[in-house]
Copies of this chain bind each other. A is one copy, B any other.
């Protein structure tokens, strides 16, 4: 399995709540941004083009998240994505937020490819499937 796609991020004022920590729905906004970066920068599939002109949606259908430690305004964190599974019409991701060695949030998220005209599941588009397979294999020592 690919060791993953990682981006650094600062916890911003607008991420935090009156308790002074990240408001948990905002974590999913951050992870969604990470998926967007992964498409654009690593898979080479324009996320905005996919959603817009190509009318392919990527809604989340299942989510399991553990919040182990809070993050505060100003914290420097790493967001990490791993591709766990490529289905015929869905992918499963592992998403994590870390600060240094500390794992603070871990999440498993299943996304389905849909038609934005019908909001029904469709087969993963061929170029996306090829990019996902390349990503999956690129970190595998057998393919190095």
Contacts and interface: CB of A to CB of B under 8 A. Distances in A.
Interface of A: 10-14, 16-21, 23-29, 32-33, 36, 40, 46-49, 51-52, 57, 59-68, 70, 72-74, 116, 119
Contacts of A59: 19, 21, 24, 67, 70
Report which residue of A17, A24, A40, A119 has the largest number of chain B beta carbons within 10 angstroms of its beta carbon: A17
B74 A67 contact: no
Q: Is the interface of A mostly helix, strand, loop or mixed?
A: mixed
Report which residue of A14, A70, A72 has the largest number of chain B beta carbons within 10 angstroms of its beta carbon: A14
Given A18-B18, A18-B51, A70 B119 contact: yes
B49 A74 contact: yes
Contact of A19 (B23, B70, B74, B116): B116
